[in-house]
Amino acid sequence: PSLPTPPPPLQVLATSFDPYLGGRDFDDVLVDYFCTDFHARYHKLDVRSRPRSLLRLYQECEKLKKLMSANSTDIPINIECFVDEIDVSGRMNRAHFEELCAPLLSRVEKPLKEIMEQANLKMDDVCSVEIVGGATRIPSIKERILHFFGKEVRTTLNADEAVARGCALQCAMLSPAFKVRDFSVTDAVPYPISLRWTSEVEDNEGHCEVFGRGHAIPFSKVLTFYRKHPFQLQAAYSDPASLPFPNPNIGSYVVQSVCARPDGDSAKVKVKVRVNGHGIFGVSGASLVDKTPVPDNAAGNAGNAGNAGNESQEAGSSVPMETELSSAAAAAAAAAAANAQGAEAGSSKEESEMQTDADEGAQLPESPGSEAAGEAKEASGEAGSGAPDTKKQRVKVRNVELPVESHLVWELTREQLHCFVENEGKMIMQDRLEKERIDAKNAVEEFVYEYREKICGVYEKFVGDQDRAKLSELLERTEEWLYEEGEDQPKQSYLDKLAELKKLGAPIQDRFRENEDRPRAFDELGRLVQQYSKVVEAFKSGDEKYEHLAREEVARVEGALAEAQAWLNDAMNQQAKRSLHQQPAVTVAEIHSKRKELESACKPVVTKPKPKPEPEAPPKAETSTPPPQAQPQPQAQPQAQPQASNPEQNGPANGHEASGGQQQQQQGGGGAKGKAPPGQAGAEGSSPGQPHNGETRGPATRMDLD
């Protein structure tokens, strides 16, 4: 079978957004409206001064917004005990909501226009429009998107979970612990990125936009500088006005260990910059290009061959890549490099000039060939500049890695990182303690509501009048404490209050459960006594199933049964004399313990298996002496045995004839009986000297030969 076709890669052509517009802004519109409305209708009620009340209003407004997406009629909003036990209410419909949100809705089309301009697309180029996000369910937003594109919007994806699912899938593709189907994603740069540097010759500042808006990422570029000393690069976002944060600077990068060439000219330095798949810019490395001419003759080749090992060892630490380009290879590489838009110029240009080895318009990842293209061109130029009669020279190119020191604006120091991790741990612990405190408070409140209802319901028969009055008073005091001074108490205060409540309420609950489970426990013990009593009766009646049991063991079982039956009768009588609100005479745990005690005393005896019967001696086999078989004898002389001429008296002449007749009868079946010779007519196919029907039969005629 053919391999499955990989999915087509995803390419982001352009991005545009309004970072200050979202679903929460529509919630703010509703909250502002109802705060003003409640302030006017409920005695100048100030909702914003109460954080807890304001949070409840946000929750109700979010629910109201979702309901208005599906209903155009008036929808009420009711909040009980909103502020100072004041109940508030209001109404809102979709038309009024859209009027309030008109300034927000007017900002929806601006990102749509920008993205069409960035991608250079026409309306006819758009095949379909898919919307995700909870706020896209607002009908007015759908209408504006439909009006802009002139196409029905699609909602085939889960609007609430699409982004979260995409993040989870991207994490799985990046993680080595998961194996998922390969899916290529080429993203786009949302904000343009620029580099600035200072020239050594002229006292001015160079500037270049390395990655423009919408540039494909992940992507790398190689920039070429001519320097004699270490230099600094400053990276920043080119359009600060479009950023959602005030500081546009990314960081500074210092390329160190740069020195001039032996002839005093500026050295060629290549700096590799990259924007990774996460959209993070950085200088991934820098290298100094060292070119050494090598004569191309026999002596030179021999010398190079002799020193090749030493050169490779010396370059092991500082020269990670070493290439040698001949004139022919350099010419071929130069032809390939001529197509690059950022091809390098000669070394005679000014030191302030910066060149790129990657085409900004090419939406392709970096390749090793692009980095060596400029080197090949320069090598070919140097090799071709000489006269035809001069000796051919080869250029040995070495890339020496240079250290790069980064100073990022948003980078955290190790101390800051440890401090943040520690603070996060403290907040997690604080959240856990707060959750435990709230759970303890809820447990007290739940106990109050539960027992207030049950002491007059299912627990009514299991609590006396005095205990009911005492518990009711305690429940009432606890409820008042919860909503006054117990509103914000530590966890231990709630635990102590719950223990005080359980001291009175737990016995009532135990009596209720005992009354529910006690009849079933009595029945189980009674059935067990009857079961073993039947076994004892069967043993006494001589049932062979239990005849292997010893009388002493059965007597112990009978005594245990009598004792258990007496205990059961006494416990049932004592419990019958007590009322339901009194402590039980016997608990379910005691009944179960008695049942286990009886079972451990009787079960090993009753279930004792019968002993296996002894194996009988095998009967002795009867042995019989087989008759002597006729031995083949030599042919007798006719004159020596005249009495053997009668076949009826003498029978077969020898054993071979007898056995031959037997074989004939076995092969011929029943028909061989009538065809037997006269001398074998009475034998019925059996040969002399062989058993017939389990009996030993002798020969018909015995002859003794001298």
683 touches 661 (CB < 8 A): yes
266: helix, coil or strand?
coil
Closest CA to 283 of 237, 343, 235: 235
Tokens of 625: 């002496």
255-310 per-position pLDDT tens digit: 999 988 888 888 999 999 999 988 999 999 999 998 887 766 544 454 444 443 33
Residue that is written with structure tokens 């920039």 in the block: 223
- Amino acid at the residue 365: P
Q: Quick one: pLDDT at residue 688? A: 41
Tokens of 469: 């009055």
C-beta atoms surrounding 52 within 10 Å:
9
Tokens of 125: 């180029």
Q: Does domain 414-504 have CATH number 3.40.50.720?
A: no
122: helix, coil or strand?
coil
**How far, in Å, CA of 350 to CA of 17, rounded?**
42
588 touches 622 (CB < 8 A): no
CA-to-CA separations, 52 to 81, 82, 156, 234, in angstroms, rounded:
11, 9, 38, 47
Indicate if 514-606 has the same CATH topology as 414-504. yes
518 touches 588 (CB < 8 A): yes
Portion of the chain with pLDDT greater than 70, in percent: 72
DSSP for 487-547? TT--HHHHHHHHHHHHHHHHHHHHHHHHHHHHHHHHHHHHHHHHHHHHHHHHHHTT-GGGT
Q: Quick one: pLDDT at residue 706? A: 40
What are the residue ranges of helices labelled H in 245-320?
298-318
Q: What is the CATH number of domain 189-408?
A: 2.60.34.10
Q: Could you please state the CATH topology (level 3) that the domain comprising 11-154 is classified under.
A: Actin; Chain A, domain 4 (3.90.640)
CA-to-CA separations, 376 to 337, 384, 522, 654, in angstroms, rounded:
8, 12, 100, 115
- Amino acid at the residue 439: D
235: helix, coil or strand?
strand
Give me Rg for the CA atoms of the chain: 53
DSSP for 583-625? PPSS-HHHHHHHHHHHHHHHHHHHTPPPPPPPPPPPPPPP--P
327 touches 394 (CB < 8 A): yes
pTM: 0.54
- Amino acid at the residue 410: W
The DSSP H or E segment spanning 213 is: none
316-352 per-position pLDDT tens digit: 333 333 333 333 333 333 333 333 333 333 333 333 3
Domain ranges of the chain: 11-154, 189-408, 414-504, 514-606
Closest CA to 648 of 681, 613, 621: 681
**How far, in Å, CA of 63 to CA of 76, rounded?**
11
User: Is it true that the peptide bond before 218 is cis, omega within 30 degrees of 0?
Assistant: yes
Tokens of 694: 């389990």
Q: Which residues of the chain have pLDDT under 70?
A: 1-7, 201-203, 295-393, 617, 620-706
Closest CA to 46 of 58, 34, 60: 34
Hey, what long-range contacts does 63-68 have (CB within 8 A, 24 or more apart)?
A: 64/30, 64/92, 65/23, 65/26, 65/27, 65/30, 65/97, 65/138, 66/137, 68/92, 68/93, 68/94, 68/97
C-beta atoms surrounding 53 within 10 Å:
22
Q: Is the dihedral of CA 528, 530, 533, 537 positive or negative?
A: negative
**How far, in Å, CA of 374 to CA of 12, rounded?**
31
**How far, in Å, CA of 369 to CA of 377, rounded?**
12
Q: Quick one: pLDDT at residue 548? A: 86
Q: Quick one: pLDDT at residue 484? A: 87
Q: What are phi and psi of 187, to 5 degrees?
A: -90, 180
Q: Quick one: pLDDT at residue 534? A: 92
Mean residue pLDDT of the chain comes to 78
Ramachandran sector of residue 694 (left: φ over 0; alpha: ψ -120 to 50; beta: rest): left
153-183 per-position pLDDT tens digit: 999 999 999 999 999 998 998 889 999 888 8
Q: Could you please state the CATH topology (level 3) that the domain comprising 514-606 is classified under.
A: Substrate Binding Domain Of Dnak; Chain:A; Domain 2 (1.20.1270)
DSSP 582: S
- At a CB cut-off of 8 Å and minimum separation 6, what does 236 contact? 193, 194, 196, 248, 249, 250
DSSP 74: -
**How far, in Å, CA of 668 to CA of 687, rounded?**
15
Q: Quick one: pLDDT at residue 352? A: 39
The DSSP H or E segment spanning 139 is: helix 139-149
CA-to-CA separations, 78 to 52, 63, 184, 230, 690, in angstroms, rounded:
16, 11, 50, 70, 115
263 touches 274 (CB < 8 A): no
What are the residue ranges of helices labelled H in 607-704?
647-650, 655-668
**How far, in Å, CA of 203 to CA of 185, rounded?**
43
